[in-house]
Amino acid sequence: MAAEIALLVLQIGVILFAARIFGKIAKKLRIPSVLGELVAGIIIGPYVLGKIGIGIHGFENGLFPLVEGAFPVSLPLYSIATIGSIILLFMSGLETDLNQFFRYSIAGTLVGLGGAVVSFLFGDWLGMWMLKTGFMDARCLFLGILCTATSVGITARILSEKKSIDSPEGTTILAAAVIDDVLGIIALAIVMGIVGASGIQGGSVDWGHIGGIAVKSFGIWLGITAIGLALAHNIAKVLKWFPPSGTFSILAFGLALILAGLFEQAGLAMIVGAYVMGLSLSKTDIAFSIQRNLEGIYNLFVPIFFVVMGMLVDIRVFQEPTVLKFGLLYSVFAILAKIIGCAFPAFFMNFNFLGAIRIGMGMIPRGEVALIIAGIGSTTTMILNGKKVPIIDSELFGIAIIMTLITTIAAPPLLAAVLSIKKKGVRKEVIDKKSVHIIYDLPSEIVKDIVKDVMQENFRHEGFRNEPLGREGGVSRFRKEATTFTLTVENNRFDFESGAKEAMMIRAVMYETFVEIQKIIGDLKEFALPKQNEFAAEGNEAEKIGKAPAKVNRVIPENGIIMDLQAQTHEEAILELVEKLGTANAVKDVALCREDVLKRERIVSTCMPGGIALPHAKTDGAERLIAAVGISRKGCPSTSNPQEKTHIFVLSLCPKSSAQPYLQFVAHVAKILARKENMEAILNAKTAEQLREIFMENYSK
């Protein structure tokens, strides 16, 4: 027992490293990491490197020895991998937008039904042609079922990586995959009923019993889903009895495990039960906390699941020409069946050609579902030519593995490729007529970031939790019990989408946010603008400021000085200096420089006591740190103190991506101007060269 446990521990450790290494290689090659994990499983699995003995006691048959039975890996390892599939579907359910799910439930049902029917017919017909037998032959029926079931786990992983789980295509695929799995399980139950009670074994088909199995399967799935959605908020309240969030998140996963086990006992797939629990909790205010707290478990178990799926692939089947031939043909039929069967109904459900193809591609992988069904077929017998033989013999099992391998490997890059096309997959946006859009266009990136931080804190005070969708910034969802809304941040625009009831609350919170920020800016102005005596005192210490951060003769060009500004206002003076730099070809985009420096000026005035203004900004309109100096003989009214006039303007611009000491330069200029003798010399200068010399002499002190 101890030796088996030690072996299992070592296996998991090796799997984790293999998953990370091959996943990283896959990303370097710009293909989904799940494909790298599957390849890792094939390479280290029992059919390749895993069976090689390493000369150490206990490892004579290799680290992953081939196990006789339905699966080539040990039952404990397969069980751990199964937990990975459960958490994958549970997290996919949590990430699903329930409103979107219901919005596309009809499309999902038709897509799932179309894919299941066409796939079953393609698989069965191919079996009839290969085996020279009839439609109702158990082997043909099993080939039809193997072709039917979709591996929603692999598709969900790709959708998550491409941030497309909440897209119309992603939601439809997940809804269709759940329908597909239920239909596949019902079909399996029907075929097993035929095998057990039909003329294949000398009896007759009990269609009433088989119909009862179908009704039972649908009833359990629909009933548990309805109950879960109805009781979701009550379940969340009970879970919150066990703080902190890390504790109730683990308990939520425990519920997913319980429901998955109950579904399996009822004859349905565990992954369907896990998805139902995640979907139910997705409408609660703890969904985001659960996702965040289970991220570590997700990163642990899900890669194990995909590596173990790769281990199930017996690559020896490629050595048999007949098996290889029919396996490749079966794979082509399986791919075409899903694309045709799923894309065709999707095309008539508001999806355009691209959207329909995305859905068809997303339904291609068979993965663990097909392997499970193949395993059941290999352990179930039938009477053929008077002998009891497995329905799925070694050759058919090899064909099933080839189909599973090709569809599993082909689907991720195909789906990733069509998802990467930056075009919408629907003909017309499906807009919820009850939804309201509240839009705020903010003046700058700095303001946007400040508003976002204060706004999120204010919503937290109101009891709302928020989390980015798809594990990325851009779109966030806010939730408090049954109340939910989304925020899309694009450039400097906030776009809230909510119901009419939430709109007034959002406006109230944003109003308080703006009032709070206005107060903060007012306080900062008082703090940032020193009194005249404080400014003078700092000027007396100017000689202590040390070496300047840049050479002034490069920063202030010879033709970057205006000895007599014509501007009447502070803003006009700034614009005149920007135009001067533009005329001197010192900046590449005058309009952008003008826009960015004025945005910066509106946040906090750069007018200083003593008749000085130091307007500055980071802008992509400048190629390097550049400055312009202007003297206003008449003076412009100060924007910080209208009773005072500004006579000296020093404009500084720097590229946003630059690492130059931009603010240090502004600070050095302020120190130079703080000295009374420098101010008098600048105002008394007769030429631009004299003025520039004053800056150059003092700048290096």
pLDDT per position as a tens digit, 504-532: 788 888 888 888 887 777 666 565 544 54
Q: Is the pLDDT of residue 470 over 50?
A: no
Calculate the average pLDDT of the chain: 79
Percent of the chain with pLDDT over 90: 12
Q: Which of 95-99, 147-151, 170-174, 507-511 has the lowest mean pLDDT?
A: 95-99
Residue 427 CA: distances (Å) to CA of 93, 251, 423, 424: 26, 42, 11, 8
Q: Are 665 and 555 in contact (CB under 8 A)?
A: yes
- Superfamily holding 435-527: Bacterial toxin RNase RnlA/LsoA, N repeated domain (3.30.160.690)
Fold equal for 435-527 and 544-699: no
Cα–Cα dist 63/201, whole Å: 42
Q: What is the mean pLDDT of residues 625-640?
A: 89
Cα–Cα dist 637/681, whole Å: 22
pLDDT tens readout for residues 281-301: 887 878 878 888 898 899 999
pLDDT confidence of residue 483? 74
DSSP symbol at 351? B
Sheet holding 435-441, edge to edge: 435-441, 493-499, 483-490, 475-480, 465-468
Any residues with CB less than 8 A from the CB of 288 and at least 6 apart, and which?
465, 466, 467, 477, 479
Q: Three-class SS string for 377-392?
A: HHCCEEEECCEEEECC
Rounded to 5, what percent of the chain is helix, strand, coil?
65, 10, 25
Q: What is the mean pLDDT of residues 158-170?
A: 72
pLDDT confidence of residue 577? 93
Quickly name the fold that domain 2-419 has: Na+/H+ antiporter like fold (1.20.1530)
pLDDT tens readout for residues 419-454: 888 788 777 765 555 667 888 888 777 788 888 888
| Confidence grade of residue 364 (pLDDT, cut at 50, 70, 90) | confident
| Secondary structure of residue 150 in the 3-state scheme | coil
End-to-end, the C-alpha distance of the chain in Å comes to 79
Nearest to 397 by CA among 72, 118, 695, 96: 72
pLDDT confidence of residue 107? 82
Q: What is the mean pLDDT of residues 455-471?
A: 74
Q: Is the pLDDT of residue 214 over 60?
A: yes
pLDDT confidence of residue 329? 92
Cα–Cα dist 683/673, whole Å: 11
Containing H/E element for 483? strand 483-490
pLDDT tens readout for residues 61-76: 788 888 876 668 888 8
pLDDT confidence of residue 267? 67
pLDDT confidence of residue 122? 92
pLDDT confidence of residue 469? 57
Strand 607-608 relative to strand 475-480: parallel, antiparallel, unpaired?
unpaired
| Confidence grade of residue 536 (pLDDT, cut at 50, 70, 90) | very low
CATH of 544-699, one of 3.40.50.10490, 2.10.70.10, 2.160.10.10, 3.40.930.10: 3.40.930.10
Q: Is the pLDDT of residue 609 over 90?
A: no
| Secondary structure of residue 575 in the 3-state scheme | helix
Strand 616-618 relative to strand 645-654: parallel, antiparallel, unpaired?
parallel
- Domain chopping of the chain, boundaries: 2-419, 435-527, 544-699
Q: Is the pLDDT of residue 113 over 80?
A: yes
Q: Is the pLDDT of residue 361 over 60?
A: yes
| Confidence grade of residue 541 (pLDDT, cut at 50, 70, 90) | very low
Percent of the chain with pLDDT over 70: 79
